[in-house]
Amino acid sequence: MKGLFCIIGLCLSLSVQAAELIGRVVGITDGDTLTVLDASHQQHKIRLMGIDAPERKQPFGERARQNLAHLAFAQEVTVQWRKKHRNRLIGKVLVNGVDVSLEQIKSGMAWWYEAYRKDQTERDRILYSAHEADARRSRIGLWQDPAPVAPWDWRRRRK
């Protein structure tokens, strides 16, 4: 019986670990989505975990896309991911160890996507929340707008 619990525990701990994808960024869709080409020349659409950037037609949408391109386009990246949604990997993208999602938040180009906080580590939740608060206080990027509309609200209004 003890052996069964050990096996179940091992399976549960393995399912929590992120898979890793390494490749080069070959496309930027918007401020929170990019395309990575792996070593076998397969393309992977990646949705940045933990953030939601303005939609392209929203104020700051194009600037968020441009900022993501500046951070990641043509760069070799490591994507740490745990799940797929709508044919996209949901993951944390690192360029030379730098968290691209966090950089989008720091530059005021994205919201911390608190609704999906359970998908993040405790450390990332704290960092993303704190840096969003700093960007808001400093009125950086989209926080210059007196009444910025969160992308999830903007999408709901458009339906």
For residue 90, what is the domain's CATH number? Answer: 2.40.50.90
Q: What is the pTM of this model?
A: 0.88
Q: Does residue 154 belong to any structural domain of this protein?
A: no
Domain of residue 120: give its range: 18-144
Q: Does residue 12 belong to any structural domain of this protein?
A: no
* pLDDT value for 158: 85
Is 88 one of the annotated active-site residues of the chain? yes
Is 20 one of the annotated active-site residues of the chain? no
How many domains would you assign to the chain?
A: 1
pLDDT class of 150 with cuts at 50, 70, 90: very high
* pLDDT value for 16: 52
Q: Give residue-wise pLDDT tens across range 23-46.
A: 999 999 999 999 999 999 999 999
Catalytic residue among 20, 24, 47, 123: 47
Separation between Cα atoms, residue 11 and residue 23, nearest integer Å: 28
Q: Does residue 87 belong to any structural domain of this protein?
A: yes
Quote the distance between the C-alpha of residue 100 and its chain's center: 7
Q: Does residue 7 belong to any structural domain of this protein?
A: no
Position 80 pLDDT exceeds 60: yes
Catalytic residue among 63, 76, 88, 155: 88
Position 22 pLDDT exceeds 90: yes
* pLDDT value for 3: 45
Residues 6 or more apart whose CB falls under 8 angstroms from that of 111 comprise: 51, 52, 53, 105, 132, 150, 151
Separation between Cα atoms, residue 141 and residue 137, nearest integer Å: 11
Is 55 one of the annotated active-site residues of the chain? yes
Q: Does residue 11 belong to any structural domain of this protein?
A: no
Average pLDDT value for the chain: 91
Catalytic residue among 55, 65, 103, 132: 55
pLDDT class of 159 with cuts at 50, 70, 90: confident
